């Protein structure tokens, strides 16, 4: 008999060892596969769909007031979402949310920017540490991980007042069970109670389902954060262990909730059913669920700290990969508060084979003239984008970029607001009004403007543009404005440096070199373009006659 028991125990131990070995082996295979993908993707742009509502949710829930946050007009004008998609090489969903939040909130903290640069360089140079960090973060790459940040919402869920009475229900059930040993008739009374408790148990499932994504992923976030704390990485983990410890209560209570999935395993399904009925009988899930929510209401600061900690690591990894994929880039030189900005071999990151340009702004703002498609809008956007990148990921698309700390505002893509019944001109007025309001605050601004008041007549447009641009040019603000209106050249020349883009007509074809040139635009090709487009000779002759009079 004893021999048989020992044999069974040995077989059980061998089976347990086999399961442990198999689990370890499969985990190694998974990590090896993940590493292969990580190495293959390094330095490459990530493709695929991005859910910006979920990506932006962390930014919306962050309570800290930033130095600056790009407004919706500027996000649209600078194609910030497309820019983010180009930069984003993150390994986790919280990291993706953190990076986007970082990109739309340029900072004035130079020490923080320089520290971020050192962190990026660390991952560039330390390949093993980098890959270990990427593998760890990949545990949070499931789309469910986006929902961790929903736990930062102000009111997670209001507990019904009557739910407190369920404590007495559970106490009564336990009492009746104990007393049924002496009074078996009580078991009959437990039948309707069991039915009522089943109802409440499954009523609560709809509440649990709201958190079926966030709770399990928060557990993973805690585990990943704990692993990072143990590593020797150049990231401030002060207080992170305390944040993890503060969430122990959540981990303990979470175990009593039903998030398990038995799949197609019939035995597992049966065991889960027994467990489910037991929980229903004693209302375990309801008590545990609301207790867990109460726990988390007081732990939002801890969750936020863990998201920021792991997100910062992922953002540094992403930036290192972004830099690795660039033919050239520069870390910016950030100067003191003065009206100076310069860029050498600057280019727009979203334009393939973009022509590089250089500029030096000193004491005067910039007026750029030229025709459509010549490169005006692309250039001023490129300057603004690089100013944002300088104050976010400390990486510029140029060989040199020197800038003061600025707040970036733009007025480029204005559209009619049909729903509010506002015309194009009124939308322009509102947008430019926002720039004027920003110029009156005690911060240095970078204003990017493509045409001023396109929605009104030429005489008033030129007059208003001159007055507005002179007003915005105060207080060390830097303006880059593009315009078709040659009349502005004479009006703004004393306070604005003049540059232009020009096209040539070769063999009846328009040829653009997209090169920024100093001075005002001297050539006029608009009527000639009509001519090569086979407009009637009568139109061309009259247009030339009127133009020559002016």
Per-residue pLDDT band at 230 (split at 50, 70, 90): very high
Q: What is the DSSP letter of 1?
A: -
**Considering its fold, how many domains does the chain have in total?**
1
Mean pLDDT of 123-138: 96
* Over residues 438-467, mean pLDDT: 88
Q: Look at residue 61 and tell me if it is in a domain.
A: no
Residue 208 has pLDDT above 90, yes or no: no
Between the ranges 1-10, 158-167, 289-298, 420-429, where is the mean pLDDT highest? 289-298
Domain presence at residue 173: no
Output the domain CATH number for residue 359.
3.40.50.300
Residue 169 maps to a domain: no
Give the pLDDT score at 483. 87
Helix axes 186-203, 284-297, angle to 10 degrees: 40
> What is the gyration radius of the CA atoms in the chain, in angstroms?
32
Nearest C-alpha neighbor of 138 from the set 240, 230, 30: 30
Distance CA 397, CA 466 (A): 32
Q: Does the pLDDT at position 510 exceed 80?
A: no
Lowest mean pLDDT among 244-248, 336-340, 468-472, 532-536: 532-536
543 is a domain residue: no
User: Sorting pLDDT into bands at 50, 70 and 90, what band is 545?
Assistant: confident
Smallest Cα–Cα separation from 176: which of 191, 190, 165? 190
Residues 6+ apart with CB under 8 A from 485: 369, 458, 461, 462, 465
SS3 354: coil
Q: Whole-angstrom Cα distance, residue 334 to residue 113?
A: 10
Find the domain containing 401 and state its range.
333-519
State both tokens at 426: 């009124």
Higher pLDDT pick, 516 / 549 = 516
Would the pLDDT of 521 be above 90?
A: no
Least confident piece of the model among 7-16, 238-247, 394-403, 513-522: 7-16
- Is 93 among the domain residues? no
Are 99 and 330 spatial neighbours (Cβ–Cβ below 8 Å)?
Answer: no
Answer with the residue of higher pLDDT: 202 or 268: 202
Per-residue pLDDT tens for 26-49?
677 777 788 788 888 999 999 888
Q: Does some domain include residue 6?
A: no
Q: What percent of the chain has pLDDT over 70?
A: 91
Average predicted confidence (pLDDT) for the chain: 87
Distance, CA of 126 to CA of 124 (rounded, Å): 6
Tell me whether residue 448 is in a domain. Answer: yes
pLDDT of residue 269: 63
Q: At 482, which helix (H) or strand (E)?
A: strand 478-483
> CB–CB of 296/159 below 8 Å?
no
- Per the model's pLDDT, the better-predicted residue between 495 and 258 turns out to be 495
Q: Is residue 176 part of a domain?
A: no
pLDDT of res. 417: 54
């Amino acid at each position: 008999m004893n021999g048989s028991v020992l044999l069974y125990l040995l077989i059980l131990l061998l089976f347990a060892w086999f399961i442990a070995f198999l689990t370890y082996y499969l985990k190694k295979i998974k990590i090896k596969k993940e590493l292969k993908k990580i190495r293959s993707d390094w330095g490459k742009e990530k493709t695929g769909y991005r859910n910006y509502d979920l990506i932006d949710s962390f930014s919306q829930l962050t309570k800290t007031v930033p130095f600056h946050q790009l407004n919706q007009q500027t996000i649209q004008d600078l194609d910030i979402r497309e820019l983010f998609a180009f930069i984003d090489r993150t390994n986790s969903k919280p990291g993706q949310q953190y990076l986007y939040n970082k990109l739309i909130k340029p900072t004035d903290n130079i020490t923080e920017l320089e520290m971020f640069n050192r962190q990026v360089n660390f991952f560039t140079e330390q390949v093993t540490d980098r890959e270990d960090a990427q593998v760890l973060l990949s545990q949070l790459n499931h789309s469910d991980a986006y929902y961790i940040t929903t736990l930062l919402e102000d009111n997670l869920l209001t507990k019904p007042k009557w739910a407190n009475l369920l404590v007495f229900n559970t106490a009564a059930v336990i009492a009746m069970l104990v007393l049924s040993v002496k009074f078996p008739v009580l078991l009959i009374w437990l039948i309707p109670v069991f039915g009522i408790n089943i109802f409440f148990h499954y009523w609560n499932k709809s509440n649990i389902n709201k958190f079926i994504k966030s709770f399990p992923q928060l557990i993973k976030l805690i585990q990943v954060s704990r692993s990072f704390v143990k590593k020797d990485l150049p990231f401030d983990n002060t207080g992170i262990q305390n944040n993890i410890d503060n969430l122990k209560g959540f981990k303990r209570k979470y175990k009593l909730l039903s998030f398990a999935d038995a799949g197609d395993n019939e035995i597992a399904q049966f065991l889960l059913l027994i467990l489910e009925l037991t929980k229903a009988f004693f209302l375990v899930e309801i008590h545990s669920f609301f207790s867990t929510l109460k726990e988390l209401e007081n732990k939002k600061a801890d969750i936020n700290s863990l998201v920021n900690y792991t997100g910062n690591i992922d953002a540094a990894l992403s930036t290192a990969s972004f830099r690795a994929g660039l033919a050239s880039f520069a870390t910016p030189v950030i100067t003191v508060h003065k009206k100076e900005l310069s860029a050498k071999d600057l280019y727009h990151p979203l334009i393939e084979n973009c022509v590089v340009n250089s500029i030096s702004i000193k004491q005067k703002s910039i007026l750029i003239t030229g025709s459509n498609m010549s490169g005006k809008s692309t250039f001023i956007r490129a300057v603004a984008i690089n100013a944002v990148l300088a104050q976010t990921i400390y990486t510029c698309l140029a060989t040199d970029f020197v800038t003061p700390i600025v707040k970036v505002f733009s007025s480029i893509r204005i559209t009619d607001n049909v729903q509010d019944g506002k015309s194009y001109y009124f939308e322009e007025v509102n947008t430019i009004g926002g720039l004027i309001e920003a110029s009156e605050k005690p911060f240095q601004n970078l204003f990017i403007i493509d045409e001023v008041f396109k929605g009104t007549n030429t005489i008033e447009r030129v007059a208003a543009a001159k007055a507005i641009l002179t007003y915005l040019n105060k207080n060390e603000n830097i303006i880059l404005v593009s315009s078709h209106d040659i009349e502005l050249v004479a009006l703004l020349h004393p306070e604005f440096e003049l540059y232009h883009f020009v096209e040539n007509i070769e063999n009846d074809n328009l040829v653009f070199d997209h090169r920024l040139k100093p001075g005002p635009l001297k050539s006029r090709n608009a009527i000639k373009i009509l001519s090569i487009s086979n407009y009637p000779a009568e139109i061309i002759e009259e247009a030339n006659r009127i133009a020559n009079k002016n």
